[in-house]
Each structure stands twice: as C-alpha cells, then as structure tokens.
Amino acid sequence: MIARRPAGPPLLWGRGLDSPGITRLIAALGAVAALVFAGWLVRDAHATLPLFDLGAYRVAGERVLGGGSLYGSPLVGTTWGVFEFVYTPFAALLFGPLALLPAWALLPVALVVGGGLLVGVVWLSLIGLGQPPSRRLLALCLGLSGLLLWCEPVWETVTFGQVNLLLAVLVLADLGRDKSVWGRGALIGMAAGIKLTPAFFVVYLLVTRQFRAAAAAVGAFLATALVGAVTLPGDSRVFWAGAFADPARVGVPDHPGNQSLRGLIARVLGLGSWAQLLWLVSAAALAAAGLWLAARFTASGRELTAAVLCGLTAVVVSPFSWVHHWVWFVPLLIVLLDRALPRRGRSAWSAWLACGVASAVGCHWFFAWFAGVAPSVAGPVGAVLLAGYQNAYVWLTLALLAAAAWLPGRWRRAPAAAVDAVDAVDAVDSTAPHIPSYRRTHV
C-alpha cells in the first residue's frame, strides 16, 4: 500500500519536486523544449522522425497478415544483420495493425504513441516517488516529458519508432500495483513476451521473494508464447529453436552502437573466444550485483530505485543494446533529481549532471566530432578517450551500481535529524522503518 504523508503542508514545499516554483520552472522549460522539437519536425518531418524501426515493424505486420516468413529473410533489403525481425512471434501479431495503416499515417501515430508513452513513464516514476495525483503533478509530468524528449535514448526511441518506452510503461505499471493485487506481474510477463529483455524483472521478483507476482509473470509470458505458436506455428518453431539467440541477426558485438558490456569488451579486447568467456563471466557477476542491490533498495522501501537498477542492469548485460534501449535513464534522472533537490548534496547533483549531460549530448552525437579530433590525439590518450565516449552508458551504469552499493547503508546509518527535515517524518511515525515516509511507496 502507498504510505500516506502526515497531515499538514508538504515537508518539501518550496524546496523540492513539491515546490510550486520548481513545477512552474520545469513546466516552462519543458514547453520550450517541446516547441523546439516541433519546430524541427515542421522544417523536415522525415529527417526528424525517420521511423526506420517502425517501418520494419510494419513490414513484419504485413508478413503476418500475408503469410510470409518473419525470420527467413531481412525485413528490408537483402543484407543480414541490418533489418531482421528479432522480436517474438507474439510481437509480430501486435504489429499486424500497422500493415493496415497508410504510409503517411506512421508519423502522426509515432508522435502520439511515443509522446504518450514518455508521459506515461514520467507519470509512473513521479507516482512511484510518492507524489499524489494532482493537476500540479500533471504539469510537472508534462514539463519533465518535454525536457526528457531530448534525452538521447528517448530521442532515438521516438524518432526510430521503437518499443522501448512501451516495455518500460508495462514494467513500471506492474511494479506500481499493490503487492496484494491479483495478477500483479502479468504485465512484466507480457513485456517479456514482446521482447525478452524484461524477463530480467522476473528474476528480480524471485530474488525479492515476490513469488506470486513471479508466477503471474511466467504465466503471462507462456501465454504470449502459446498465442504465437497457435497463430504462427512455423515462425514460432524457428524463433524458439534458436533464432532468438542468434547474434548475427542483430549485428556484430563490436558495433559502435552496441552500448552494452559485451560491446565494450569486444571493442577493447576483440572478438576472441577468451573475450567471449570474459563477457559471460562479467555479465553474470554484474547481473548478480544488480539484483542484490535492487533487493536492498526494495527492502528499504525504495522500489522505484530498485526497478531502475534492474532496468539498467538488464540493458548493460544484454548481448546487444542500442542507445534507444537505455530509456531507463528517464526514471533514473527523475529519481536523482528528487534526491538532489531537497538536500542539495554534491554527490546527488554530480550524479544527476553526469547522467543528464551524457544522455542529452549522447554518445552518437560525438561520432562526427571525434572522427575529426581522434587523429590528432595519438597514443594511449586517444585510446582512452575513444573507449570513454564509445562506452559512456556502460561506464555510467557501472558507476551508478558502485554508488548504489554505498547509498542504502549510508541512509540507514544517518540519524533522522541529521539528514534533512524531510526525515523528521520518522519521528512522527515511530512504527515505520528508518526511511522518509514519503519514500515508503509501492514502486
């Protein structure tokens, strides 16, 4: 259940995300950011929103309706590893309606759906922080959505017409439900039935002993596989027989766009068998560390932070992660902003600025610039710079996991009066664990 704040004015009034002044500022900045994006769209809509992936999904939908093979040939062109269908047969069924749309309708559909899903992720993140639904919260949500539209993973998800925001909405909506609600976990299973990466959250549910939700997630996932098998039996046999694990369908591991631990190792150490073994071992260790940290935050009542850690960990240990897979930076930046505003601590603001700048400026935006600078920076310095910017999301995630390993213990040890006036709530609610009551939420 969501813990209620005690009666009286909000403890962060005038100081943090509860501040009307902060809300007005974020709403104004978000409106300007959205207008700039709209201006780019008006000048050249197809350059601003190329919708490569949405077009590929449309082709998959056409093959479903026309009886063509999903995995027997690339969706676009004849080159393997560029535009192949790498999702489940169930996902292809969901893309079927796209085949019925005229080509001109894809752009407005992408804008409405992509923008709506971004607002959904922001809204669920704010609710997960204990913010009560209100008109002020809606204004804050819309302002943050306008700003976060310029976060590189979000930008690429919207402009390519990707599904990543949908998966994040399903996961956050599921974890946001009360633990006693029947069927909690089913949306996570459905997300995994569309794309396998969210299955990592099923492991999280097991680690945190949420067995009923884990069972619901597994049941929903099996249901999506059954639907795919009944409606597309041939494609289902190909997919589950090994196509889902074929790395050649996505791209070579050392591709510059692969922002995962495997991509980092492949670019730095090569593609040998020993490098593959190193990735498997390090990915398993990192997955275990991420789950352990998520369990610690869940135990202290910070389940939104736990969900963010799980999302980031799932992406970083995945064999291939494009930049647009990192949409978990949206709730991450909101959590860090919520942490930084009331306390104005240097560590929280440093983390927020590092993640905000990296995700706004992005890795790919540096490609053209670095191609001109790199030749003039020879030797080890140039190699370090190259490894730094090409793997920025991986380095940031490793740093965040290291910081998360320190934070929960530090928060538990800090006296209620020494941290901030916010923590004085604990003195009112003597039966509560030692965490701020407005953070004892269900996400």
CA atoms of 315 and 279, how far apart (whole Å)? 14
Task: Indicate the average pLDDT of the chain.
Answer: 80
User: Taking 90 as the threshold, does the pLDDT of residue 369 lie above it?
Assistant: no
User: Taking 50 as the threshold, does the pLDDT of residue 56 lie above it?
Assistant: yes
Alpha helix ranges (H) inside 131-260: 135-148, 152-160, 164-175, 186-194, 200-207, 211-231, 233-240
Is pLDDT larger for residue 77 or for residue 67?
67
pLDDT of residue 331: 94
- pLDDT tens string 79-116: 666 678 889 999 999 999 999 999 889 999 999 999 99
- pLDDT tens string 403-443: 888 765 554 443 333 334 333 333 333 333 333 333 334 34
User: Taking 80 as the threshold, does the pLDDT of residue 63 lie above it?
Assistant: yes
pLDDT band at 343 (very low <50, low <70, confident <90, very high): low
Is pLDDT larger for residue 309 or for residue 372?
309
Mean pLDDT of 250-279: 87
User: Taking 80 as the threshold, does the pLDDT of residue 173 lie above it?
Assistant: yes
- Residues in Cβ contact with 433 at an 8 Å cutoff, skipping those fewer than 6 apart: 300, 301, 440
Q: How many CB atoms lie within 10 A of CB 79?
A: 9
Structure tokens at 53: 């992936």
pLDDT of residue 286: 96
- Encode burial over 362-394: b for 16+ CB neighbours within 10 A, e otherwise: bbbebeeebeeeeeeeeeeeeeeeeeebbbbbb
Mean pLDDT of 15-29: 79
pLDDT of residue 172: 97
- pLDDT tens string 209-234: 999 999 999 999 999 999 999 999 99
Nearest to 21 by CA among 148, 164, 139, 146: 139
pLDDT band at 271 (very low <50, low <70, confident <90, very high): confident
Rounded to a whole number of angstroms, the CA Rg of the chain reads 22
pTM: 0.84
- Residues in Cβ contact with 179 at an 8 Å cutoff, skipping those fewer than 6 apart: 210, 213, 442
pLDDT of residue 76: 72
Mean pLDDT of 177-200: 94
Nearest to 254 by CA among 241, 263, 245: 263
Q: How many CB atoms lie within 10 A of CB 6?
A: 12
- Residues in Cβ contact with 154 at an 8 Å cutoff, skipping those fewer than 6 apart: 118, 148, 165, 327, 329, 330
Nearest to 439 by CA among 330, 306, 345: 306
Nearest to 130 by CA among 296, 291, 14, 6: 6
CA atoms of 213 and 158, how far apart (whole Å)? 30
Which residue has 């039996």 as its token pair? 233
Q: Element (H or E) spanning 46, and its range?
A: helix 45-48
Is pLDDT larger for residue 4 or for residue 98?
98
Q: Which segment of 246-250, 254-258, 297-301 scores lowest on mean pLDDT?
A: 246-250
